[in-house]
Structure 1
Amino acid sequence: MSNYGNRGMWLEHVIERCNRLYKNKGQAVIDKVPTNISYNTRTQKARFKAKGTVDFIGTLKGGQSVAFDAKNTTTNALKFDNVRPHQEQYLLSVDKLGGKAFLLIYFQKYEEMYTIDIKDYVNYKSTAERKSIPYSYFADKEPVQSVNGIPFDYLRMEETN
């Protein structure tokens, strides 16, 4: 059983593999944004130096920018608190400038991944009478599939949205 801090590492590794395949196929160049952490040798504690942006940013074939944050949940829902306000604002800014901006959500319990456009996420969040987006929200949506050798072809899903 993995600890809380590493629960998203598997997801990040899978996405990074997909990103390498996208790059090799000439479809996109998408990179993981490094986390800015400082380490205090005296107290042996690490802390974030500043608020980050999102997990991944890049450019699609044709020049359109792309930015997204990957979220992993072990429950039936993704809590809104898991998407930080600065991440939401960053994605909205990318969208406003014509880029692709979305969340990539992996429901571990169902072993399914979905994309949700940042505007759809914000709209749902503002109208929902709950504190999370449930798995059932995605019932009529197609999960991200393995296509053309890419384990989770999330860019194909974004093209259909």
Structure 2
Amino acid sequence: MINRTNERYLEKDLALIQKIPTPITPVKMDKEHRQITLAYFDQRSTVDYIGVVQGIPVCFDAKECVADTFPLQNIHEHQVAFMGSYEKQGGMAFLIIYFSARNILYYMRFCEMQGFWERAKNGGRKSFRFDELDPRFLLELKNGCFVPYLDAMNLDLELREKLDKE
């Protein structure tokens, strides 16, 4: 869904977002079919997507959750560190979480994710519940595959600007 959305955004000259491949080392090959049958990850990946939206550097990771409770162990410490550094450099970092049982997507701003992360680090819940999320950042799938995360990015930018003025 996200890959197709990125293609549409590119077609409309709205964004250039690339999927970052996870580096692997093949262990076993099926030479006849030229396929890797066993491999391991070379290194930790940072995020799933990186690019630029109308001059704004963007990085984000896609996550999926079956239940209404999202375990923070699904977000890795190196990802949080990378996204934090990305934001410090003037970029925007976020998660897109698909709550499959509800068929709902959520745009999670980095500051929100960081708040849940810090809460867990300080002895609080090691997860967050669906009802803790900001309803303004719920995304409806459009045309069955279109993930309108640019709409949520615009709201995110508005809130950042408002915060900067205060």
Q: Which sections of structure 1, spanning at least 5 residues, go unmatched?
A: 1-13
For residues 131 and 100 of structure 2, the distance between their equivalents in structure 1, rounded to whole angstroms, comes to 14
SS of equivalent residue, structure 1 residue 89: helix
TM-score, normalising length from structure 1?
Answer: 0.83
Cα deviation digits, residues 3-25 of structure 1 (max 9, x gap)? xxxxxxxxxxx000000000011
Partner of 1:92: 84
Structure 1 segment 1-161 matched on structure 2, within 5 A: 14-41=1-28, 45-61=38-54, 63-127=55-119, 129-138=124-133, 140-146=135-141, 151-161=146-156
Distance of aligned partners of 1:106 and 1:150 in 2 relative to their CA distance in 1, 3 Å threshold = closer
Where structure 2 has 5 or more consecutive residues not aligned to the other structure, the ranges are: 30-36, 157-166
Distance in 1 separating the partners of 2:88 and 2:143: 31
- Structure 1: which amino acid aligns with 2:106? Y
More strand by share: 2
Q: Which amino acid is 1:141 matched to? A: R
CA RMSD for the aligned pairs? 2.0
Instruction: Using the TM superposition, give the Cα deviation of residue 127 of structure 1 relative to its aligned residue in structure 2, in angstroms.
Output: 2.5
Amino acid at match of 2:58: V
What is the percentage of aligned positions where both structures have the same residue? 32
Indicate the structure (1 or 2) with the bigger Cα radius of gyration. Answer: 2
TM normalised by structure 2 equals 0.81
